[in-house]
A and B are shown apart, each in its own frame.
Chain A
């Protein structure tokens, strides 16, 4: 598909030399001067466009060429293709003065639109946009037969106000409000005779035109909307379509209730059953739909409020029209888009004027009942849910059913639809605060909500990083942690679920993982024996248990999926989510929860799916947050001492999870002391000491047959330091540890260690051992250095000389013989 020729063409366009370029410009200038608009000109202009747009550095066109291009653009006689080319070149090339474009003289609709595209791209000030808007609206205001209203007036205005809403003055805004009412509500409901029907106010044709149809072929039941079809359209019908297309934006920008001023207008809302006749506000047709019958004329309302009223009616009509079964698929898709837009606009209107809520809800409720069973309309249900969220309280309507469907069934059935998943997640993000505060079902549904993430992690992970704090509650925190750790499992199981649904059971031999005795994951998915496990992973709501006992078995069954790209991608997003989790939970966790979290850390660090790098990355996260948790709740070392020592006492853990192990040992050394927990006794310290001493002894045994150490030097130094710390708190242990440490030298000199560790590392071990031994010769100093008081974390060293470590150190080093070093590592 993508050819090498394209690359070389781009290169040529970028590297064309100046001489050739000047010649080329000259040639085009000449062609334009001679008004030669044949194929050669078109070709040259196409190449010129490529030349100016191929480079990101911009090309300055000579002023005479610019002038000719502007003239070409602004001349109504130019063909559309030439206008396209000239406007695109003027947009890309530099520089351009918008002031030179004769906007005021433009009459022709098409030319105006192309010139506007250049102005919108190059305008440097609001004044330039204001001038453009002014010109467009003048034609709208004048209503003369020979003055053509630019068809793209509304899109241009919409683009202009995007840059800054105050481009339009208030009277222009009111003018547009009035015109929008005319176009939306009172457009002709007859088919246009032909495409060439020009002018905005042509009189009725001699032959009776046919009426518009609905999308299912029936005659149109009420006023014209974008869901009406006909052979061709009149100008005001085109404006109807453009008006609806920019209505939402317009209302969001200008339909804002001011507290002062227009408040008085609200009171004068007079209801008439019979509308006044006006050349633009007749009620067409004898067939009346519900909308026209119940509409109020609202002739006395100010333009803004009148637009609101008519916009509301338009939306109601669209909702009605969407119930018809469209003949063409494109129209079915349009119906869905119209529903989304209509409900959203009604939501905006109701926010500005709550009195609309009572009129809107019957319509929205009926729409919901119609669509709730049909998953094809799932994306429409999101704006409906938003409406309920915003207004159900005002109207005292029960929204339970809507949200139950949203949180309980959508994620389970539609997790693999990327567009729905994205919009669903945006819905949650937008309404996060409200959902967290007033909808318990939201927080309870996290197992379901995680399904979107598991299926499409790369696209959704940044959204979930924002959502996760809102899903975290004290009662379900542990279950959520387990769910995050098993996110790759969830991805695998969802994949199995989909595959299982699409392949018949008889084809199961295809999935047999050749020759192995264990069932393949797909087979296992279908077996009743394992059903419970899979059902747990696929559960829609939290609360049935933090995790399952047979997790190891589940991981084993899913072993054939550990290399599936989806599972691997999912596993790569888990560490960052864990970071968010721990940062959030640290803000509200009480001591009990922290203890539970530490237990989960210890337990799950080796109970994870065997995906490449997954265990290592998770352990890294665990290690850093273990320390944070210890800092928050130092007593946890005491309270969980049994589990921690079980972990620290087993050398297998060194080889399987060294990082976490090292941090556990360090934490024990740091926090197992009287200053952090009054319940700490000599027995506790001694038993910890003995456990760690045994481990250090085992791993540093110097034997001829010993293999190279499979642990890093850092582990050795941390163990040594921890033992020294413990010894400093129970001074009977000092001789033992000193003796031990003095043997470290021979450890570092042994052959396997020399082969494995660098010289720096070995020296570091020896130096550390030496320092610790020296330090322990002065037990009181050792205690001071190795067990800083709890208030050491918030040092007042510069203020309180008694607690000042540097001063103490300096004093001591002055008193003691020079050859002792006091560098604490």
Chain B
């Protein structure tokens, strides 16, 4: 099951230091502390702060891994423009990392990332998830986000229209569950999504 999904920057941001990444959207499916009795005396604000800090470390990790990957690959990429979502996705860099126990979550997780020019899409999965399915799902999410939020154009829709991403996640990854959907199931879900956002 997916633990969290992030959209964040992969380019330098003027108000942050060079290695930091601005998180534009994040959705956590599993609360950070297990209900096994750990950390029950932490107040909600602290819990939330801890959660946000952990997500920030993940975004930074993806940024550095992606930049190293791009450096090694060597070919400079052309910045895609609005309308070229399919090409942007095809040329996107991608990779996987392991997040060991304690760094930053109590259990081991895997981090999948997709770098579409200056934007990163990251998904943290559990250690025994189907990574092939997760990769396909991440690409599908990225494709939907790029189109419905016009991410290739300068604009702030990713912040103001985040309910679209919420709805997308609710249908494609309900409560963090990765789904085995063939193209017909996907079409049905797309129809539901369009109906939801049209109002």
Contact = CB atoms under 8 A, between A and B. Distances in A.
A123 B36 CA distance: 12
Interface residues of B, number: 82
Identify which of B45, B136, B163, B183 gathers the most chain A CB atoms within 10 Å of its CB. B163
Interface stretch (A44-52, A626-634, A732-740, A796-804): A44-52
Contact of A244 (B118, B132, B180, B196): B180
A155 B177 contact: yes
Interface in B160-198: 160-163, 166-167, 170, 174-186, 188, 191, 195-197
B185 to A, nearest CB: 6
B183 A328 contact: yes
A231 B181 contact: no
B1 interface: yes
Contacts of B133: 337, 340-341
B152 A1 contact: yes
A334 B154 contact: no
Contacts of B49: 56-58
B86 interface: no
B76 interface: no
Interface string A47-85: 101100110111000000000000000000001110011
A242 interface: yes
B188 A458 contact: no
Contact of B14 (A7, A56, A418): A7
Identify which of A195, A226, A337 gathers the most chain B CB atoms within 10 Å of its CB. A337
A517 B36 CA distance: 69
A2 interface: yes
A159 B136 contact: no
A245 B136 CA distance: 14
B156 A84 contact: no
A360 interface: no
Identify which of B1, B24, B154, B156 gathers the most chain A CB atoms within 10 Å of its CB. B156
Contacts of A215: 182
Given A2-B118, A94-B45, A163 B185 contact: no
Contacts of B160: 9, 46-47, 50
B182 A226 contact: yes
Contacts of B182: 215, 226-229, 328, 330-331, 334
B79 interface: yes
A373 B166 CA distance: 42
Interface residues of A, number: 95
Nearest to B97: A459
A116 B28 CA distance: 14
A330 B158 contact: no
Contacts, number: 250
Contact of A164 (B36, B69, B94): B36
B159 A10 contact: yes
Nearest to A45: B163
A565 interface: yes
Contact of B158 (A6, A248, A344, A462): A6
B92 interface: no
B181 to A, nearest CB: 7
A418 B197 CA distance: 36
Interface in A304-331: 328, 330-331
B159 A9 contact: yes
Contact of B179 (A122, A241, A463): A241
A423 interface: yes
B30 A46 contact: no
B44 A58 contact: yes
A233 B185 contact: yes
Interface of B: 1, 9, 11, 13-15, 22, 24, 26, 28-31, 34-36, 40, 44-45, 48-49, 52-53, 56, 64-65, 68-69, 71-72, 74, 79, 94-98, 100, 117-119, 128, 130-133, 135-136, 151-156, 158-163, 166-167, 170, 174-186, 188, 191, 195-197, 199
29 contacts: A3-B154, A10-B22, A10-B159, A46-B160, A46-B161, A56-B49, A56-B53, A81-B196, A88-B166, A95-B44, A116-B175, A117-B170, A120-B31, A122-B31, A163-B36, A164-B35, A215-B182, A226-B182, A232-B188, A245-B180, A249-B1, A331-B183, A334-B180, A337-B136, A340-B130, A419-B94, A423-B96, A565-B68, A569-B68
Given A3-B154, A162-B1, A565-B74, 19 more contacts: A2-B119, A5-B156, A6-B159, A7-B13, A7-B15, A57-B48, A58-B44, A84-B163, A122-B31, A163-B35, A195-B191, A230-B184, A233-B185, A245-B178, A334-B180, A337-B180, A422-B98, A458-B64, A459-B97
